[in-house]
Amino acid sequence: MTARRFYGARPPGITTEPLPGRLIVLEGVDGVGRSTQIALLQEWLEHRGFAVIQTGLTRSMVAGRGIQRAKRGNTLDPITLNLLYATDFWDRLERQIVPALHAGMVALADRYIFSLIARARVRGLSGRWLRDLYDFALVPDRVIYLDIDVEQLLPRVLAGGGFDYWESGQDYLRDPNLYQNFIHYQEALLKEFRRLARANRLTTIDARGSVSQVFTRLKSELEGMLDDMAAEPLATGPALVLPSAARSQAPQRLRREQPV
């Protein structure tokens, strides 16, 4: 079992009991293929016998709808938006991720604090403030950063429905040209992601190429960690949560917390 650490002080409300599960995070810009890879990962993991939960931005009970509502307006500043995301993130950490890890499951997170920090950094917020804010986060067992260039990203985004207001930085870039803003925003974002990946020793995976090529790279990165997990005696986990119980709980929790 890996030792559980937080980036900063242990926040209130988190169990001090062992968390024998594993937290795997996929990071990267919109359109890089995170959700596709997560869906494949879940199937692969379940096929191998691991109990899995998925979590992603704005899927919390407490703030998910609030964020969608706030983003529809035009008076949202980056600090408020970030604090709404932080609320959403914390709620999922507390209600989804930690209970799953406690139950010995694999938690797959579609984006983590790095996306939130990168987005806020390009909008001019202080890096120190963001690090301090998010130091309540649990250090994941593995963070995979899916890296790509804007040229490879463009066709994927266009095929996936075109340029989104927020993903083109329209909230802070004043150029009326959406295409230019998209390029400008995504380049700035990629730069931030790469900087974060270096500074935090995230595992960078080349996300260019076919879905199956990327998935093969992903699997080979995670193989060793999962073998370790499978080899661990269950005794390291809390006695009351058996894998079968964990499995029967999981779908119920996920259904309840899906956004409406």
Partner 1 sequence: MPPLPTRSVPRTAELLATHDVQAGRRAHDLPGKLFIVEGIDGSGKSTQLDLLHKYLVSEGYLVVFSEWNSSPIVKQTTRRGKRLHLLSPMSFSLIHAADFASRVHAQILPALQAGAIVLADRYVYTAYARDAARGVNRRWLRKLYAFAPQPTLAFYFDVPLDVAIQRITNRGESTKFYEAGMDLNLSPDPWTSFRLFQGRIRREYERLVPEFGLTRIDATDALVRQQQLVRSMVAPHLEGAMKVDRNALGNALWAAGLQGRYLSQSMREEAEA
Q: In the complex, which residues of this chain contact partner 1 (CB under 8 A)?
A: 8-9, 11-13, 61-63, 65-66, 69-70, 73, 75-80, 83-84, 86-87, 90-91, 94, 123-126, 128-129, 132-133, 135-136, 172-174
Cβ-based nearer residue to partner 1, 172 or 179: 172
Give the strand order in the sheet containing 142-147. 52-56, 106-110, 22-27, 142-147, 203-206
Cβ neighbours of 82 (radius 10 Å) = 21
Smallest distance from partner 1 to CB 140, Å: 18
Minimum CB distance to partner 1 smaller for 47 or for 128: 128
Using alpha carbons, select from 24, 36, 25 the residue that is nearest to residue 209: 36
* Residue nearer to partner 1 on the CB measure, 88 or 147: 88
For residue 136, the minimal CB distance to partner 1 (Å) is 6
C-alpha distances in angstroms, 224 versus 117, 141, 161, 211? 29, 12, 37, 21
Q: Closest CB to partner 1 among 11 and 18? A: 11
Report yes or no: 131 and 117 within 8 Å, Cβ to Cβ: yes
SS3 84: helix
- The minimum distance between CB 122 and partner 1, in angstroms, equals 10
The least CB distance from residue 94 to partner 1, in Å, is 6
Q: SS3 of 20, please? A: coil
**Judged by CB, which is closer to partner 1: 8, or 251?**
8
Q: Give the Cα separation of 215 and 19 in Å (integer).
A: 27
Smallest distance, partner 1 to C-beta of residue 13, A:
5
